Amino acid sequence: MQNNKRPENMARIETKEQADAFIAEQVAAVKAQVGDKKVLLALSGGVDSSVVAALLIKAIGKNLVCVHVNHGLLRKGEPEQVVEVFRNQMNANLVYVDAVDRFLDKLAGVAEPEQKRKVIGAEFIRVFEEEARKQDGIEFLAQGTIYPDILESGPVKAHHNVGGLPDDLRFELVEPLKFLFKDEVRVVGKALGLPDGMVYRQPFPGPGLGVRCLGAITRDRLECVRESDAILREEFAKNGLAGKVWQYFTVVPDFKSVGVKENKRCFEYPVIIRAVNTKDAMTATVEDVPFALLQHITDRITKEVKGVNRVLYDLTPKPCGTIEWE
Ligand code: XMP
């Protein structure tokens, strides 16, 4: 039975020195646990799996096999960043799986959010299992479990665990971050040399853009979500809001409305902007984004994103609106 309680005398990790000490301790612990055996990791590019990857690369180098599944629901530039940081900069043993068509085919016609989650989760296990079977000599599975996942506090649904693998692939777990809180994970990530864009990423739901492309996902609307989200993130970063606002993203519903572009009537999708602040995601308030910035973002989205003719700002706090639209 594994001990899942944070040791009472464990000091909080707040400084680079404390992070370095934690890293040295965990590198030794991982080496002692896995020896010269191979470890598999599902590397999404999120903060937790990225920090686990960087830590394990330090401990066991190429004996860590990272699998990055691109399911087509990631934000613009994310799969490329995973390849750049881990394969090119950290020299990791990285398997990049382009599973975009597989996921989108499975999701075709699926409109109900819980059903979408199930399809995405089940397909993820299938792809990961296939990749695991291609690897020889894997004996361990690394996971980016953090302490709040163990405590199960708050409604932020963690998708770190690759549960549901068949019995013959139930590897022994390596979970070096399991006693850390999120802010400590970020300090460790920084000390490991990960880029700020990865370490200070806003929360991103497991099913990715899939819950922001409302109704049955179509490729054209998914592109509207991805492109409008990229513009929003770029403008928030440029205007000092990226590190300040807890979560911000765009949503595309599955209906069109009439607009006018270049003196012609057009029938296109709206984009909804959401930007909220919260401590624990149980309640949330809406960020007071400067009106001029909202106008500028609207201008960019309607000009640069194909198939969009309106932009709306969601003013609803939680409750009664949830953070995601699903
Ligand atoms: P709601 O919409 O319930 O969201 O107010 C609260 C927080 O949870 C995130 N969220 C998810 N995270 N898998 C996740 O990993 C999910 O299916 C999921 N749904 C919502 C949401 O982004 C917000 O931070």
pLDDT tens-digit readout, 6-55: 999 999 999 999 999 999 999 999 999 999 999 999 999 999 999 999 99
**Residue 152 — very low, low, confident or very high, per pLDDT cuts 50/70/90?**
confident
Distances (CA, A) of 201 to 135, 150, 198: 31, 21, 5
Q: Report the nearest atom of ligand 1 relative to the CA of 278.
A: 24
Which band of pLDDT confidence, cut at 50, 70 and 90, is reported for residue 2?
Answer: low
Q: Give Cα 140 to chain centroid, integer Å.
A: 23
Looking at residue 157, its pLDDT comes to: 46
Tell me the mean pLDDT in the region 250-279. Answer: 98
Please give, one letter per residue, the 3-state secondary structure of 119-175. Answer: HHHHHHHHHHHHHHHHCCCEEEEECCCCHHHHHCCCCCCCCCCCCCCCHHHCCEEEC
Q: Count of CB atoms within 10 A of residue 321's CB? A: 15
Pick the atom of ligand 1 nearest to 158's CA: 15
**pLDDT of 190-203, one tens digit each?**
999 999 999 999 99
Q: Which domains does the chain have, with CATH numbers?
A: 16-199 (3.40.50.620), 212-313 (3.30.300.10)
What the block records as the tokens of 5 is 């309680």
Cβ-Cβ contacts under 8 Å for 87 (sequence gap 6 or more): 94, 96
> Is the model's pLDDT at 155 over the cut of 90?
no
pLDDT given at position 269: 98
Q: Taking 90 as the threshold, does the pLDDT of residue 1 lie above it?
A: no
Is residue 162 predicted with pLDDT exceeding 90? no
The pLDDT tens digits for 215-255 are: 999 999 999 999 999 999 999 999 999 999 999 999 999 99
Q: Which residue, judged by its Cα, is nearest atom 16 of ligand 1? A: 205
Cα 135 to averaged position of ligand 1 atoms, centre (Å): 33
Q: How far is the CA of 202 from the centre of ligand 1 (A)?
A: 12
- Which residue type, as a one-letter code, is found at position 51? V
**Mutate which of 47, 120, 156 to test ligand 1's pocket (most atoms within 8 Å of Cβ)?**
156
Ligand 1 surroundings by CB, under 6 angstroms: 117, 155-157, 159, 203, 205-207, 211, 247, 281, 318, 322-324
279: left (phi over 0), alpha (psi -120 to 50) or beta: alpha
The span from the CA of 14 to the CA of 53, in Å, is: 20
Q: With 80 as the cut, is the pLDDT of residue 163 above it?
A: no
The stretch 136-153 carries a mean pLDDT of 91
Q: What average pLDDT does the segment 68-73 reach?
A: 98
Tokens representing 198 are 């990865």
The per-residue pLDDT of the chain, averaged, comes to 95
**Ligand 1 centroid to 157 CA: how many Å?**
6
Whether the pLDDT of residue 305 is over 60: the answer is yes
For residue 137, the 8-state DSSP code is: S
Enumerate the H helices of 152-290 as residue ranges: 182-191, 196-199, 219-238
Atom of ligand 1 nearest to the CA of 247: 24
CA gap 309, 224 in Å, rounded: 11
Q: Can you tell me which atom of ligand 1 is nearest the CA of 326?
A: 2
Question: Distance from the CA of 89 to the center of ligand 1, in angstroms?
Answer: 31
Q: What is the pLDDT of residues 97-125, one digit of tens each?
A: 999 999 999 999 999 999 999 999 999 99
Q: Provide the pairing of β-strand 264-277 with 257-261.
A: antiparallel
Q: What does the pLDDT read at residue 17?
A: 98
Pocket test for ligand 1, best of 157, 209, 246 (most atoms within 8 A of CB): 157
